[in-house]
Amino acid sequence: MQSQELVVTSSPHLREETSVAEIMWTVNISLVPVMLAASYVFGLRALAIIAVSIISCSLTEYIFLRARNKEVTLTDGSAVVTGILLALTMPPAIPLWVVAIAAVVAIALGKQVFGGLGNNPFNPALIGRAFVTAAYPVLITTWTFDGQTAATPLNLKMMEGEITPYWDLFIGNIPGSLGETSAFLILLGAALLIYKGYLNWRIPAGMLTTVFLLTWLMGHDPVFHLLAGSLLLGAFYYATDMVTTPITPRGRWLFGVGAGVFVVIIRLWGGYPEGVMYSILLMNMTVPIINRFTRPRSLGEVN
C-alpha cells in the first residue's frame, strides 16, 4: 500500500488570485474620469494638486518603510490611491504646501503609525483632510469657480439660497472640491469597481438610502442631498475601504446606515455644510465592535 501524508494548512483555504496591486490600480483607473473632469472645470491647478498629493504620499510612504526596515512596496498603488482620494477632497484654490502637509499626515498618522497597509483603522485620506480642516479652516473652505470665489451648492443651501439644478449636479461643472464636479463620472467609476467585485454594494446602498429617507422625512430635498457635495464620492470610494470597514454583510449594512445618519445630522443641524468626512471617520471607530457582534456564530456557540 502506498502511504499518503496528511497535509494540514492554516486558513484561508480558498484563495483569490487577485492581488492588492491589481485592486489598487483598478481603483486608480476608475478615478481617472473624475480627475479629468476636475482638470476641465478647474484647469491645470487641479492636476497640480493631484500631482503634489500623489508625490507627497509616495515619498512619505517610502521614508517610513525605509525607516522601519520594511520592504518598499510603492508599486502596489496604495499610496497613489491615498494621494488621489486626498486630492479629490481639496478645493481648487488650496495652496500646494497645504496639500503636501495633508499628504504627509495621511500616510504618517493615518497609515504607517498603525503598521502600514492593512492595519490602519481610519481612512488615511480622510485623516489628512481632517487635519488640514482643523489646522487651516479658512484655506480649506475657500472655493473658487471660473477664477472667482464662489459658494458650493451645499453652502448655498445652508444659506437658504437657490438650490443648484439636478442636471448641473449630475453632469458637473459646479463649485466644490475637485471630486465634487460630476455625480455621473463618480457613478461611472464606481460601476467599474462593482463589476470587478472590488466594491461591496451594501455600504453605499445603506448610506445613500438612509440619507434619502431621512432628508425626505425631515422635509428637505432628498435628491439634492444625494447629488450635492461629496456624498456619492464618499459612499462609493471612502466608505468602502476594505481595511477600515466591516467584513460581514450585516456589518456593512450597519456601517452604511450609521454613516448616513451622521451625514444627515451634520448637514441639517451642524455648523458645517458637509458631513461625509466626519461620518465615515466616526463609523471607522465602530468597525471592531460591529465585526464582533455580526460575525457568524459556530454551531452551539453561546458567546
C-alpha cell at 3: 502511504
Query: What are the tens digits of pLDDT across the range 175-189?
Result: 888 998 889 999 999
Q: What's the confidence (pLDDT) of residue 32?
A: 95
Q: How far apart are CA 260 and CA 278, in angstroms?
A: 11
CB atoms within 10 A of CB 58: 18
Query: What are the tens digits of pLDDT across the range 219-268?
Result: 988 998 999 889 999 999 999 998 999 999 999 999 999 999 999 999 98
If you average pLDDT over every residue of the chain, what do you get? 87
**Quick one: pLDDT band at residue 289, thresholds 50, 70, 90?**
very high
Q: What's the confidence (pLDDT) of residue 59?
A: 95
Q: Which amino acid is at 209?
A: T
- Beta-bridge partners for 144: 149
**Quick one: pLDDT band at residue 11, thresholds 50, 70, 90?**
low
Q: State yes or no: pLDDT of 8 exceeds 90.
A: no
* DSSP states along the chain: ----PPP--PSP-S-----HHHHHHHHHHHTHHHHHHHHHHHTHHHHHHHHHHHHHHHHHHHHHHHHTT----GGGSHHHHHHHHHHTTS-TT--HHHHHHHHHHHHHTTTGGGTSTTT-SS-HHHHHHHHHHHH-HHHHT--EETTEE---HHHHHHTT-PPPPHHHHHH---SSSGGGS-HHHHHHHHHHHHHHT-S-THHHHHHHHHHHHHHHHTTS-HHHHHHSTTHHHIIIIITT-SSSS-SSHHHHHHHHHHHHHHHHHHHHHSSSS--HHHHHHHHHTTHHHHHHHHSPPPTT---
Q: Report the alpha-carbon angle 263-266-267, nearest 5.
A: 80
Q: How far apart are CA 60 and CA 45, in angstroms?
A: 22
Q: What percent of the chain has pLDDT over 70?
A: 87
Q: Per mean pLDDT, which range of 138-152, 186-200, 214-228, 243-257 is the poorest?
A: 138-152
Find the radius of gyration of the CA atoms of the chain: 20
Q: Domain spans of the chain?
A: 20-294
Q: Is domain 20-294 classified as CATH 1.10.3430? A: yes
Q: What's the confidence (pLDDT) of residue 96?
A: 96
Q: State yes or no: pLDDT of 41 exceeds 60.
A: yes
Q: What's the confidence (pLDDT) of residue 99?
A: 96
Question: Is the Cβ–Cβ distance between 164 and 156 less than 8 Å?
Answer: yes
